């Protein structure tokens, strides 16, 4: 069974236009020889590399990026990669398998395209929404009400939670202000003596 793959090539940027097309055609021929068929191609042009690539003793700081999408048998991809490794004008290459499209995303995209074509606002049907996590169980709601009622009863009976007892441990604002005024007077005395 043929699968869809994507090949990114980083080619020698010093090649002339004709040589670059010739190298790209050579890669297409290799794909054809291995039983693949090209579905699309894209030229990204010359871009600066993140780090220098040495090929044949020469460092390259730029590369000409080419993208090829093709269908091929899975067992033929390794032979294609071996051939690309030996191709002189290909600095780097990477072959990845294109993942199948997400059915839910594809379904939403089709609906959005239909809405754009008819100038309707985008709407999501009830079938597209997962309501399993949004529903609340009445037993959960009832248990949370019982919990709230129990804590209210404890406060009335005089057995308040620990958070109420913490208020007595905190210093009063007068104590804090008094300490800060003492500290201010000390700092003023120190500054006068200098």
Note the pLDDT of residue 47: 94
The Cα–Cα gap between 181 and 45 comes to 71
Note the pLDDT of residue 186: 57
The Cα–Cα gap between 51 and 186 comes to 61
Q: Is 154 helix (H, G, I), strand (E, B) or coil?
A: helix
* Alpha helix positions (H), 10-123: 17-33, 77-86, 103-118
* Alpha helix positions (H), 87-137: 103-118
Q: What is the pLDDT of residues 75-103, one digit of tens each?
A: 888 899 998 898 888 999 999 987 776 76
Q: Is 136 helix (H, G, I), strand (E, B) or coil?
A: coil
From residue 127, give the alpha-carbon distance in Å to each of 13, 51, 56, 67, 111: 51, 48, 58, 37, 13
Is 67:6 a contact under the CB 8 Å cutoff? yes
Distance, CA of 169 to chain centre:
48
Note the pLDDT of residue 69: 93
- State phi, psi for 50 to the nearest 5 degrees: -70, -30
Distance, CA of 180 to chain centre:
51
The β-bridge relationship of strands 58-73 and 90-97 is unpaired
The tens-digit pLDDT sequence of the chain (194 residues) is: 788 999 999 999 988 889 988 999 999 999 998 888 999 999 998 999 999 998 888 889 999 999 999 999 888 888 999 988 988 889 999 999 877 767 666 667 666 677 676 665 555 555 555 555 444 445 455 545 555 555 555 555 555 555 444 445 555 555 555 555 555 555 555 555 54
Instruction: Give 97's strand partners.
Output: 5
Q: Starting from the edge strand earliest in sequence, which strands make up the sheet with 58-73, in order?
A: 37-55, 58-73, 2-11, 90-97
Note the pLDDT of residue 66: 92
Q: Which CATH number is associated with domain 2-64+72-97?
A: 3.30.70.60
């Amino acid at each position: 069974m043929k699968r869809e793959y994507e090949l990114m090539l980083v080619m020698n940027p010093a090649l002339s236009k004709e040589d670059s097309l010739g190298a790209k055609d050579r890669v297409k021929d290799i794909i054809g020889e291995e039983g693949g068929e090209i579905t699309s191609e894209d030229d990204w042009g010359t871009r600066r590399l993140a780090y220098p690539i040495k090929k044949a003793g020469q460092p390259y700081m730029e590369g000409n990026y080419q993208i090829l999408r093709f269908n091929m048998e899975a067992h033929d991809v390794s032979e294609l990669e071996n051939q690309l490794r030996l191709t002189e004008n290909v600095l780097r290459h990477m072959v990845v398998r294109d993942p199948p499209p997400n059915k839910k995303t594809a379904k939403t995209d089709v609906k959005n395209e239909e809405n754009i074509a008819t100038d309707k606002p985008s709407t999501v049907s009830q079938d597209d929404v997962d309501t399993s996590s949004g529903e609340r169980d009445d037993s959960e709601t009832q248990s949370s009400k019982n919990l709230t009622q129990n804590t209210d009863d404890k406060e009335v009976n005089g057995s308040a939670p620990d958070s109420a007892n913490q208020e007595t441990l905190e210093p009063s604002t007068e104590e804090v202000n008094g300490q800060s005024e003492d500290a201010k007077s000390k700092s003023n005395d120190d500054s006068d003596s200098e």
